[in-house]
Amino acid sequence: MQLYKNQNLKVHNSLSGKKEVFQPINEGHIGMYVCGPTVYSNVHLGNCRTFMSFDMIFRYFKHLGFKVRYVRNITDAGHLENDADDGEDKIAKKAKLEQIEPMEVVQRYTVDFHNTLQKFNFLPPSIEPTATGHIIEQIEIIKEILEKGYAYEANGSVYFDVLKFNENNEYGKLSGRKLEDMIANTRELTAQDEKRNPQDFALWKKAEPQHIMRWPSPWGDGFPGWHLECTAMSTKYLGETFDIHGGGMDLKFPHHECEIAQAEASKGKSPVKYWMHANMLTLNGKKMSKSTGNNIYPSEIFSGENDILSKAYAPSAVRFFMMQAHYTSILDLSDDALLASEKGYNRLMDAMENLQTLSTGAKSDFDFGAWKQKCYDAMNDDFNTPILIAHLFDAVKHINLIKEGKESITKEDKTLLENTLNTFVYDVLGLENQSAVKDDSNALNGVMDLLIELRNQARANKDFATSDQIRDRLTALGIQLKDGKDGTSFSVN
């Protein structure tokens, strides 16, 4: 069903700095490219947040009935240490340290990346191309840029001429930077520099004798510049102009700025209609950094084996935590924040289970049709998951009131509520009902059944002191008993 025809979706376009009504280039079809990881180490949580944001966006597009081609690349060559044009290749450096082949490094950390995303319940992209698999395409784009006069060769390397490009184009329009300011704030070139200008960037780098990863080209053995791979792969699979290019906020400059310049120089047209950027994840109020130790990997959160958090958290609880912030907002990870999110996640999962056993009546005391549209309105407002979650908890409140016999719901509205919650909780937000998060294993369920039975016996015998003691002791342990017309249930707070 093509729901998108009845929904007015708006997205924040980084290029214009405004929310714009989303209208794909081809009706009913979306081409979306997201910059993937450089696979030289375990994927960190900040990267996971970016990919999770676009997984949610991908899911919502699919739910609306769009046919989506989602391309997310793997960078397995060409990414130098300082994200500029000097230093060692990150993957080659790791290979030297561990005395293994570069492709062993790539394989190890690509597997880690996939395993981690699978635990977070990501949908796989439509295509996951690699930089090394598209060397030919990158060389062809360099030839085009050279022919148009926007690049030059120097000593076996090829550089993009930013000043020449800027004569008839606007370098810096995505990040809001002015080339004059960039020139004023950069150092002078030394005699050893191959570039004509400090702002120029590498399209192809000559490989020194010690450089492990190298390929033949018209300019000699070398390797492609980091920015070039995304231009080659996005346009190959999505066309010269496509709908969405996404990535982390830190990629706006220089990476995405250079992508725009490369595409416009080679094809003569702007490559992307909507640029979208996810914001960063901080840890205890500070930027995540391996060097300072203010860093945590997803596996350490799942296992609890870390010095930062008080306990282990299940992947869906962490995913729920991330969905509680808008993808364009900075999100701070802390133990208190995860504990609060886990409680909210448990409440939501309890409600999803309670919904199955609700009795229906002749009328509904809540307008579930209007509530459903509010859920869509939240997602149509630039994928506003925090507002969506607030609406989901409105439903949780009414589910609990119906269970307690204080409200009623018709059979039709119950079906609508079930379908809508399943759609947004599982299909769009990508959550799973993980019993590990709730700590309600079979053993706990058995113990609680016994305690509830003992309490019911005490109440039947008018031994209210014992029944109250059982209730109060459980409350002190964070376990809430709920008496309803269908019996007594419990939830872990």
380 and 314 part of one domain: yes
159 and 233 part of one domain: yes
Type and span of the H or E element at 273: strand 272-278
> Which tokens hold the place of 409?
């719901």
200 and 323 part of one domain: no
| CATH number, domain with residue 80 | 3.40.50.620
Cα distance between residue 16 and residue 76, in whole Å: 32
pTM above 0.85? yes
Q: Of 278, 313, 342, at which residue does a domain stop?
A: 278
| CATH number, domain with residue 422 | 1.10.730.10
Q: Is 258 annotated as a binding residue?
A: no
130 and 27 part of one domain: yes
Question: Which parts of 25-134 fold into alpha helices (H)?
Answer: 45-63, 90-98, 102-119
Full domain range(s) for residue 465: 439-492
AA letter at 191: A
Q: Is 255 annotated as a binding residue?
A: yes
Cα distance between residue 307 and residue 422, in whole Å: 36
216 and 70 part of one domain: yes
Total of domains in the chain: 3
138 and 229 part of one domain: yes
251 and 327 part of one domain: no
240 and 301 part of one domain: no
374 and 315 part of one domain: yes
Q: Of 278, 313, 331, at which residue does a domain stop?
A: 278
pLDDT in tens, the chain (493 residues): 689 999 999 999 999 999 999 999 999 999 999 999 999 999 989 999 999 999 999 999 999 999 999 999 999 987 876 655 677 888 988 999 999 999 999 999 999 999 999 999 999 999 999 999 999 999 999 999 999 999 999 999 999 999 999 999 999 999 999 999 988 887 776 656 899 999 999 999 999 888 888 999 999 999 999 999 999 999 999 999 999 999 999 999 999 999 999 999 999 999 999 999 999 999 999 988 766 778 899 999 999 999 999 999 999 999 999 999 999 999 999 999 999 999 999 999 999 999 999 999 999 999 999 999 999 999 999 999 999 999 999 999 999 999 999 999 999 999 999 999 999 999 999 999 985 444 445 667 778 888 998 998 888 888 888 988 898 888 878 788 888 766 887 877 6
Q: Is 290 exposed, middle or buried (0-12, 13-18, 19+ CB in 10 A)?
A: exposed
Q: Of 402, 418, 436, at which residue does a domain stop?
A: 436
203 and 266 part of one domain: yes
59 and 130 part of one domain: yes
Q: Is 35 annotated as a binding residue?
A: yes
396 and 445 part of one domain: no
Using the Cα atoms of residue 409, residue 414, residue 416 and residue 419 in order, give the sign of their dihedral.
positive
